[in-house]
Amino acid sequence: MKKLQNKFILLISVLFIGFASSCDSNNPEGIPSYIQIDTAYFNVHYPDIQGSSSSYITDVWVYIDNQIQGVYELPVTFPVLKSGSPNVYLRAGIRVDGMVDWRAYYPHYERFTVESINLVRGEIARIEPTFTYASPDHMTFAWMEDFENFSSSFVTSNLSDTSLMVITGSNVFEGNFSGMIVLDNNKRYFEIQTQENFKIPEKTNGVYLEFDFKVETDSTMMFGAKFYYESNIVQYLAVNIRHKKGWRKMYINLDEAMGMHYNATSFELFFSGGTLDTITKMNRNEYFIDNIKFIY
């Protein structure tokens, strides 16, 4: 589908070139240059404080001379009505909450500035961006869990009849360990939550939870937050995480949750899945998780 979309863009551009040339063969300004971006890479500069380099960059937001050129799903080749060496930079685009129709650039990835580019009309310039996290002065890693100490900073709630296991072997995403929860007819529901209670961030513009997951079942895993007030607890369900083939990366936005509960005294993050129904037969369900980062 993406290849067809790119071919369509090129076809329109070729038709545009022919039209422009036929109107005025002495006017090269009507002939576009092209930029090709096949994939976007991501690296961490400080693994000890930034964790894994796993990412899922689906789009690029392209800016030329400080003006938005467009938002493109990768891979892409697109026309630009400029030539020479303009100022070009890119933002890494993600699917917020895993939703195809909610796309944004990830505020915690530094923009990628193209150091040198030469746009020639009728020719293709290729860019291979590598994104990194923004400066530590502009973001906070409030909590990370990668299970690499063969331990977990989750606790099991009173509702849960099973707990998270730290595993090794073929089901590990990367490194030596990942987290795993198994449900079956005897263990029907899990709810794991952070040991640590967090304070509401002073800024609520770009509060995200990143993690890698694999759900080997047709049921869903849920993620949310529990907000603590002086007299009660309010549970906020952020997203239902459905089965995807293999390991996937997700970026969950928590700005709305933090804004709604700005006056809570503290909150915890949780994952849950399964059912409290004790009658219906339950087949074996497996949930895997790794590289969890709470960032704002």
State the amino acid at position 74 in one-letter form: L
pLDDT digits (tens, 9 = 90+) for 60-107: 999 999 999 999 999 999 999 999 999 999 999 999 999 988 999 999
CA distance 128 to 272: 38
Q: Which residue range is the domain that position 190 belongs to?
A: 140-295
The token pair at 2 is 């993406």
How sure is the predictor about 15, in pLDDT bands with cuts at 50, 70 and 90? very low
Residue 291 to residues 47, 122, 179, 252, 258, Cα–Cα distance (Å):
12, 44, 9, 14, 22
Alpha carbons within 13 angstroms on the beta-carbon side of residue 269 total 28
CATH number for the domain that contains residue 238? 2.60.120.260
What are the pLDDT digits (tens) for 197-231? 999 998 777 999 999 999 988 788 999 999 999 99
Q: CA-CA distance, 111 to 77, in Å (whole number)?
A: 20
User: Do 156 and 71 have their domain in common?
Assistant: no
- 167 and 116 belong to one structural domain: no
Write the DSSP symbol of residue 135: P
The DSSP secondary structure of 49-66, one letter per residue, reads: HH--------EEEEEETT
Among the candidates 137, 170, 201, a domain finishes at 137
Domain boundary among 83, 116, 137: 137
Shared-domain flag, residues 288 and 169: yes
Kindly state whether residues 186 and 132 are assigned to the same domain.
Answer: no
Task: Evaluate the CA torsion angle 131, 132, 138, 144 in order and state its sign.
Answer: positive
- Same structural domain, 280 and 240: yes
At 171, the amino acid letter reads N
For 242-283, the pLDDT digits (tens) are 887 899 999 999 999 999 999 999 999 999 999 888 888 888
pLDDT of residue 216: 85
CATH number at residue 85: 2.60.40
Give residue 27's pLDDT.
38
On whether both 77 and 89 belong to a single domain, the answer is: yes
Please report where in the chains the tokens 């995403």 appear, as a residue. 173
Looking at 71, 104, 137, the residue that finishes a domain is 137
> Are both 126 and 216 inside the same structural domain?
no
pLDDT band per the 50, 70, 90 thresholds, residue 7: very low
Are 120 and 147 part of one and the same domain? no
Query: Residue 271 burial by CB count (10 A; 0-12/13-18/19+): exposed, middle or buried?
Result: buried
Other Cβ atoms less than 10 A from the Cβ of 196: the count is 13
Instruction: Please state the pTM of the whole predicted model.
Output: 0.86
Statement to judge: residues 55 and 130 lie in one domain:
yes
Output phi, psi for 283, to 5 deg: -80, 170
Residues 197, 282, single domain; the answer is yes
Whole-number Å distance between alpha carbons of 188 and 166: 19
Whole-number Å distance between alpha carbons of 67 and 135: 23
Q: Are 90 and 63 in contact (CB under 8 A)?
A: yes
pLDDT band at 28 (very low <50, low <70, confident <90, very high): low
- Same domain membership, residue 110 and residue 78: yes
Q: How far apart are CA 105 and CA 208, in angstroms?
A: 12
137 pLDDT band, cuts 50/70/90, is confident
Specify the number of domains making up the chain: 2
Same domain, residue pair 152 and 284: yes
- pLDDT averaged over the chain? 89
